[in-house]
Amino acid sequence: MVDEEDNTLEVVSLLPGLITGPVFLTNDFTSKEAIQVLLEEKYPLWPEIYVACIDVRDCAIAHLKALYCKKNMKVALVNGQFSLAEMATIVNNEFSQYGYKVARRQMYPWVAKLASFFNAEMREIIPLYGKETKIENQKAIKELEMEFTSIEKSIIDMSYSLIKQ
């Protein structure tokens, strides 16, 4: 936002986590792949990796609100952190009734370490294994007056939209 009286520019940087929620694109992107592997029953166990998430609808609202914000600031757009196993449980609880069998068990650290010798993806995540970071969303709530959609709803909505594709 540019203040014409004193010619200053106010910039709000929005830093979203993993963006979940309904999908309208058919091309691949990181957030889509994260949920799609749950539905495809690709892995029997999940590494203990934590992901900060935000619903796509909340992300869009935050971008609109940021246009009218008169402060320079960085805002983390997250509505909590979930492990991959927790996300798998959310998907399984909703979709097991339709025949989806989503693995919900957490991988032991030694299994992840062993797998990292043979799998490049596992090798990349080993430094993050078991580390839950604290990301505050208070600026989003206070400065942008955000009310977040539950991540459970967001993951379920994303899963349904992926199934329809």
pLDDT per residue, tens digit, the chain (165 aa), is 555 666 677 788 899 999 999 988 777 777 778 888 888 877 788 888 898 999 999 999 999 999 888 788 899 999 988 888 888 889 989 988 988 888 778 888 899 899 889 989 889 989 988 888 888 888 899 989 999 999 999 999 999 998 887
The angle formed by the CA atoms of residues 91, 94 and 100, to the nearest 5 degrees, is 70
Two structure tokens written together for 109 = 């650290």
pTM for the structure as a whole: 0.82
- In the chain, what's the furthest Cα-to-Cα distance? 62
Rounded-to-integer distance, Cα 77 and Cα 141, Å? 9
Of 3, 143, 2, nearest to 75 by C-alpha is 143
Phi, psi (deg, nearest 5) at residue 96: -65, -30
> What pLDDT score was predicted for residue 1?
54
Rounded-to-integer distance, Cα 153 and Cα 53, Å? 12
